[in-house]
Chain A
Amino acid sequence: MSGSLLLRRLVQAVPTLFGVSVVVFVLVRVVPGNPIAMMLPPGASLEDMERLRQAYGLDGSIPEQFVIWLGQALQGSFGISISLRQDVLELVLGRLPATLELAVFATIMAVTVGVLAATVGVLFRGRWPETLIDAINGFTLAVPDFIWALALILVFGVLLPVLPISGRVDPRLGTEFATGFYLIEALVSARFTVVGDLLAHMIMPAIALALPLAAIITRVLKNSLAEAMAQDYVMIARVKGFSRWRIIWVEALRNASIPALTLTGVQFTFLVGGTVLVEKIFSYPGIGNMAIDAVINRDLPLIQGLILSFAVIFIVVNLLVDLSYGLLNPRLRT
């Protein structure tokens, strides 16, 4: 199944990416704001403006511009960033690892907290711990990630200044990295001081991103765990004398986790989208932070490149989620 599923998903990805390209291409060109007007120097003339429009390929009609852009994209070129004057693909690939590490770290955090909270909720069903977990859940869900970010800065950056507020790594460390995956590279090369510094910079933005996702996972998983706990195979396990922890973790969780897994996969893509604001607040150098500057500067090629990156992440994550179903539940393997 994995092979045919993979192939089917890859084929489906093509029209999805094409559709995203068309929508983004048109939208960024019809919304107000002209990148050429923004970059006009003092003393420029109308002729200078026209010259710049031609230089950046913005003088043709939107369909003409799209055809040119599509042709280049199929050859692996997404153009040159208007504001940064560098290859868009290089820029995106250079910053993507930071966002991926942050997003994965936040997801691991969210899943860990969500699973633990859901388990505790089911263990103490009908009692005050479950009530407390539900109340915290509701509160956490109601507060958006950027508010959590500001609150964390206030508490752990200013009032109890124990964590760095901005950036990805302490500039004074003078550490060099061969790849953009700083954390993985530092772990592999056993540079634990650097690992500590990287984690210190990641903790607050990761918590800000993780909290809403953790709340969602808790809610969905708690409900599906509760349903699983009412199934016959669980009753048999109880009759066999297994402990409640074992019943939940070994018997019920695998089946109960499928809805939560699907949701986590979908929410992961929203989490990546959430990095836009969180990275901005923490000055974390990922693609989210870059996206805001790209939009402000109306950097059309860069906006397109970034949106397509998000679309690719969405497709890959959903594919991984689909593939993982079979791992969790053999009945789903064909």
Chain B
Amino acid sequence: MKLTRRQMLQGTGLGAAAMLLAPGGALAAAHGGGALTIAYHVNLPSWDPTVGLSAVNPTIQTFFQTVYDQPITQNPDLSFSPGLLTGWGWNDDRTEIWMDVREGVTWHDGSPFTAEDVAWSLARAGNPETGNPIQFLWSKVTDYKVSGNRVTGKVAAYEPTFFKWLSFLTGYFMPKAYFEKVGAEGFEKAPIGTGPYMVEEFQRNAFVRLKRNPNYWGEKPAFETVVFKFVTDASARVAEVESGGSDITLEIPYQEYDRLKGKAGLTGVTTPVSDIGMIFLNDIEVMTDPNVRKAAAHAIDKKAIVDRLLRGYGVPIDTLQAPQYAAFDPSIQVAYDPEAAKALLAKSGYSTDNPVRFRIQTTRGFKPKDYEMVQAIVGMWRKVGIEAEIEVYEIAKHYELRATDTLAPAAFYNWGNSIGDPSTSTGFAMFGPSPHSVWDGQDLIEMIGPLWGEADEAKRIAGYKAVDRHIAENAYVIPLLQYVQPIVHADTVSVGTHVSGVLLPQAVKPA
């Protein structure tokens, strides 16, 4: 039979219609029947939240907090409230800790969550053989004992942030009986937690499908099914939410956020997050001159950078504490003052005709407008008498150079601090002996050292505020801004934001 042109066109039309109606086609709703689809920006490498590289990756805590629950819940403003622990604390002389375990909680396989699980999990976390990356912290408490619903432990070394870490990295309780039965490999294939969602299907580098835990102890989430698609390309994430293939996405360029939130059917929400952009200064070469450092700090117009490069999505900061952090002190300010910068440089014999020269290293595309920010800063510096040469490198090289203390005199980086404690920002970043630190000044070592184990919390926080003021006065580092996380979503849902940057499906509700 010979096909006529009309028949071919009709067939093409039917074929196109079939494709439209096929699963994945646009006419199939992105979420129907209680399903929520999120285009997420990173892959989930592993389901074990306590060991390996993934355990210390803040960007995948979203999954762990959805499936596992936190021992101590971290609220959206970084404050803390009871989670799987209903109470906790130290004894009077800080030689012992105690934790009260929530009753009536079950693991996803129906078995009861008990104090034994807590004791076992924490002992495992502190055991150097199990590979917990924060083992050095968990090992500061040992010899856990269970009595009813209370777990106690002996303090080997006082750690003021011990309980804060129970709401952050690697501090998750694991199911003792199930883990011992199936082993690490079995757990990886079929993870269980106590959280509001259970893992239904996981395809590495593709998606994870979660279903609501019918026996959840807390507030019942709104959606029966949640699908996280791992869409690591920003353009693809934009296309996912714009096409309706996903309901929510995040970590997209700010200009795309502004464009999408104005489209019919979409809206957006932003929140400052516990991630800051900064310029590490290394105590080498010209950077040992305090006039150069202070001039570099005063010459940067942070507000202009945020307004013009980041479209207003950012919060200028002058210390390594964001406004939500425990040791934030708004009185510590470093003014934008190019004339003061010139005067400082003149004291050391520098000027626009005789500029001071050094290298500044930066990534390109690792953080929003990272390279462009450094370009802008170099331009601002040039106007006062600083000539900085930009060197672009990969983030992997940054880590290597930082660990070996061989960074350039200036290096752009971001620093996350999801517990909002000053020890995990100022402490780790500015304490010389730490492999994360760049500035190795003895004055800071002497100021920060005693704060690690300071038992008086008010004194500890005051101590870090004093350290931050000292750092700002001497320009040992140049904090730039607190990042803002853009989230675009269908206007049929409302999204609860979190300063730690997690995107929790249990915080998403129908609009």
Contacts and interface: CB of A to CB of B under 8 A. Distances in A.
Interface of A: 32-46, 48-49, 55, 82-86, 94-95, 150, 153-154, 157-158, 161-174, 193, 196-197, 200-201, 280-283, 285, 289-290, 293, 296-298
A196 B46 CA distance: 30
Contacts of A193: 23
A48 B233 contact: no
Given A49-B435, A283-B232, A165 B400 contact: no
B56 A39 contact: yes
Given A42-B424, A280-B232, A171 B188 contact: no
* The 9 nearest A-B residue pairs measured at CB: A33-B396, A161-B26, A164-B24, A32-B397, A37-B403, A41-B133, A34-B400, A37-B399, A161-B243
B209 interface: yes
Contact of B233 (A167, A197, A200, A280): A280
Contact of B396 (A38, A82, A171, A201): A38
B436 interface: yes
B435 A44 contact: yes
B465 interface: no
B233 A162 contact: no
Contact of B205 (A48, A165, A197, A290): A290
B239 A283 contact: no
Contact of B24 (A48, A82, A197): A197
B16 to A, nearest CB: 7
Nearest to A193: B23
Contacts of B435: 37, 40, 44-46, 48-49
B169 A282 contact: no
A84 B225 CA distance: 26
25 contacts: A33-B399, A34-B400, A37-B404, A37-B435, A38-B53, A41-B134, A42-B56, A43-B136, A44-B136, A44-B436, A45-B434, A46-B435, A49-B403, A85-B46, A86-B46, A161-B245, A162-B20, A163-B24, A165-B240, A166-B236, A171-B203, A174-B209, A193-B23, A200-B24, A283-B231
A44 to B, nearest CB: 6
Interface string B56-97: 100000000000000000000000000000000000000000
A145 B156 CA distance: 58
Nearest to B424: A42
Contact of A285 (B18, B45, B204, B394): B204
> Which size class do B's interface residues fall under?
35 or more
B205 A95 contact: yes
A292 to B, nearest CB: 8
B209 A171 contact: yes
A174 B211 CA distance: 12
Nearest to A168: B206
A166 B240 contact: yes
Contact of B397 (A33, A39, A172, A201): A33
Contacts of B39: 166
Given A33-B399, A172-B209, A172-B227, A39 B201 contact: no
A49 to B, nearest CB: 6
A82 B133 CA distance: 13
B230 interface: yes
A35 B394 CA distance: 13
A25 B436 CA distance: 28
Interface in B218-249: 225, 227, 229-233, 235-236, 239-240, 242-245
B229 A158 contact: no
Contacts of B394: 32-33, 296
A209 B150 CA distance: 60
B133 A39 contact: yes
A197 B28 CA distance: 12
Nearest to B137: A43
B368 interface: no
B402 interface: yes
Contact of A32 (B22, B209, B400): B400
A22 B187 CA distance: 36
Most buried by A among B54, B204, B401: B204
B20 to A, nearest CB: 5
B45 A283 contact: no
A171 to B, nearest CB: 4
B206 A158 contact: no
A34 B403 contact: yes
A293 B19 CA distance: 32
Given A34-B403, A157-B245, A163 B19 contact: yes
A297 B43 CA distance: 12
A320 B208 CA distance: 37
A37 B239 contact: no
Contacts of A296: 394-396
